[in-house]
Amino acid sequence: MSNLTHLTIADAIDGMDKGDFTARELTEAHISAMDETRELNAYIVETPEIALDMADASDKRRADGKAGIMEGIPIAMKDLFCTEGTQTTAASHILEGFVPTYESTVSGNLWNAGAVMLGKSNLDQFAMGSANITSYFGNVINPWQRQGSTAQLTPGGSSGGSAATVAARAAMAATGTDTGGSIRQPAAFSGIVGMKPTYGRCSRWGVVAFASSLDQAGPMTRSVRDAAIMLEAMAGYDEKDSTSVKLDVPSYQKALTGDIRGLKVGIPKEYRMDGAPKEIDQAWEQGIEWLKAAGAEPVEISLPHTKYALPAYYIIAPAECSSNLARYDGVRYGLRVDGESLDDMYERTRAEGFGDEVKRRILIGTYVLSAGYYDAYYNKARRVRTLIANDFKKAFESVDVILTPTAPSPAFGIGEKMDDPIAMYLNDVFTVPASLAGLPGISIPTALSSEGTPLGLQILGKAFDEETVLKVASVVEEAAGFSALPQLIAGGK
Amino acid sequence: MSVDKKTVAKIASLARIRVDEEQQEALTGELNQILGWIEQLSELDTEGVEPMTSVVEMNQPLREDVVNDGYYVDRVTKNAPESAHGFFAVPKVIE
């Protein structure tokens, strides 16, 4: 039964429809896979009993002819989504023990579509980080290793637990959230598919907020088709989120026609970075060739303000974080550390409850929003954000999608880049600009680095045109034929 | 622009995060490194550019001004470190 954990969502649904196996059997296989890969620390809480109950209910729905589009599929839920009755921590000490009395819209949508919850996956604390090394519950380990080495690599972040468990075949898929690259970069580091939809496509209600003008939920899967299936289940208008968009959710699978003849693919010249490893450029060139061979036309474009995206992001995101995280005060939920006065209680609670990176960002955010600096920093960054969005708008007048590398390097070792916050921030150099512009993007694994670890390519699209993004991604996926497996995998290689 | 130890202490107090003397020192260096890097935005002329307020062009949705949720104090206070009589309890604030 162990090969059940290697199936895609699409194949598993076929298998269950045909009666080859049940949701319970599929879930049991994944529960043992979670056991086997526990060394990855991909989960903060595993929920095997809930999973089995949900699987049984799913088998019954299928028998009754009431199967949803994710019916019986066991998934990991990033521990940033509030789940009713199951602890939700955002990987922080300050929310340790918090058990929501409500369900986030996106997780609720997935359960309504028939998905089964295996557990709550680990992440960077409050989704702030690019290596999954800021979790209060310990680092997540990438199931991939460099050739001839057992050194532990980072799975990327912030959705590192989600990426690691999907790569290790211990979940068929997982939810992620992406503020500046937190779905796409870990997908690239872990050799899986990760998609950030357009801002507004998925409801943010019930998702622990980091930077509300940027946060967006999305699917992390092992194929583009699976991403299409899962996005359809997650997306949709929600009146509880005033930034959720009232648009019909298309059947994304129908977009996967494989026909991209005549499509124009933008190649932004500013994404050729000095000092980036040669193999990143080579993988990119290869991607361009594949699309050309499929009948698309590469077009060189310019996104002139690209270099200002990261510094603008590191004003806007901390500013919003300092405001959003003001709610953790030891009064309504989570940790309380007693003090001599109310203010003293707040200060001690927040000092003990937040990790170093979270505190750094709250302090930067507080500073850039404080009297006298608001205009110089925060308003300046919002003006730069307009320029970046305009760059994309102009580019999309002449192209249908944009192709870039996902990250400037393959997965690095845990412990590397840790002393220098800015070196860590640079991981998101290719993902942040589209986040600032609210655009949809996907990362697909296409090649192995010289170290034997995965590399990803990113496809960006027009707002709410996830369909074209998925269509082009499936062509790249087909051409790449990426079938390599990580070293630390359930059931062995 | 850069911050000194005194400013870091002030920001920390505004953010209600207790930071001791030793940490103030370390944070001053870290924050200045980040602020120095952010500074590159100043070379960009943004005169006349509107600051972005919403990344998706849409009208704010309106709804009827009616109560459509609530009446479950137990659920709201369930996760509170301390609550009493349906309220959140905090240390005494009035002498």
The partner residue sitting opposite A422, judged by closest CB among B37, B61, B72, is B37
> Considering only alpha carbons, which residue of chain A is nearest residue B32?
A364
DSSP A328-397: -SSSSSS-----SSHHHHHHHHHHHHS-HHHHHHHHHHHHHHSTTTIIIIIIHHHHHHHHHHHHHHHHTT
Decide if A7 contacts A225 (C-beta within 8 A): no
Please indicate whether residue A66 is annotated as part of the active site: no
User: Any CB–CB contact under 8 A between B4 and chain A?
Assistant: no
The percentage of residues in chain A with a pLDDT greater than 70, rounded to a whole number, is 99
> What is the ipTM score, two decimals?
0.96
Q: What is the pLDDT of residue A422?
A: 84
The pLDDT value given to residue B4: 96
pLDDT given for residue A1 in this prediction: 42
Q: Is the predicted pLDDT of residue A463 greater than 60, yes or no?
A: yes
Catalytic residue among A92, A104, A130, A158: A158
B93–A360 C-beta distance less than 8 A = no
Q: Is A254 a catalytic residue?
A: no
A424: confidence class by pLDDT, cuts 50, 70, 90: confident
The Cα A10–Cα A15 span in angstroms is: 9
CATH fold of A122-493, please?
Amidase signature (AS) enzymes (3.90.1300)
Summarize pLDDT for B36-94 with one digit per residue, the tens.
999 999 999 999 999 999 898 877 788 899 998 899 999 999 999 999 999 999 988 88
In this predicted structure, the answer to whether residue B95 has a pLDDT above a threshold of 80 is: no
CB A82 within 8 A of CB A207: yes
- Fold for domain B5-42? Histone, subunit A (1.10.20)
Confidence of residue A275 (pLDDT cuts 50, 70, 90): confident
Query: What is the reported pTM?
Result: 0.97
Q: Which chain B residue lies closest to A326 (C-alpha atoms)?
A: B15
- What are the tokens at A316? 């806007």
Question: A455 exposed, middle or buried (CB, 10 Å; 0-12, 13-18, 19+)?
Answer: buried
- Whether the per-residue pLDDT at A189 is higher than 80: the answer is yes
Q: What is the pLDDT of residues A353-392, one digit of tens each?
A: 999 999 999 999 999 999 899 999 999 999 999 999 999 9
**Which one is predicted more confidently, A484 or B91?**
A484
Specify the range with the lowest mean pLDDT, choosing from A218-232, A437-451, B55-69.
B55-69
Contacts of A362 in chain B (CB under 8 A): 15, 17
State yes or no: is A244 an active-site residue.
no
pLDDT digits (tens, 9 = 90+) for A294-317: 999 999 999 999 999 999 999 999
| pLDDT at site A255 | 98
Question: Exposure pattern of B34-68 as b/e (b: 16+ CB <10 Å)?
Answer: bbebbeebeebebeebeebeebeeeeeeeeeeeee
Interchain contact, A363 vs B80, CB within 8 Å? no
pLDDT at B93: 85
How many alpha carbons fall within 13 Å on the CB side of residue B64?
4
Q: State the pLDDT confidence band at A209, using cuts at 50, 70 and 90.
A: very high
Categorize the per-residue pLDDT at A493 as very low, low, confident or very high, splitting at 50, 70 and 90: low
CA distances from B89 to A26, A93, A169, A190, B78 (A): 46, 21, 46, 45, 12
Q: Domain extents for chain A? A: 122-493
**Which two three-digit tokens encode residue A276?**
């980036």
> Which residue in A182, A244, A322, A409 is the catalytic one?
A182
Q: Which residues in chain B are contacts of A355 at CB distance < 8 A? A: none
Residue numbers in A near B29 (CB within 8 A)? none
CA distance A131 to chain B (A): 19
Whether A455 has a pLDDT exceeding 60, the answer reads: yes
Q: How many residues are there in chain A?
A: 493
In percent, the amount of chain A with pLDDT more than 90 equals: 95
Kind of pairing between the strands at A74-78 and A116-121: parallel
Q: Do A350 and B14 touch (CB under 8 A)?
A: no
C-alpha distance from A274 to closest chain B C-alpha (Å): 18
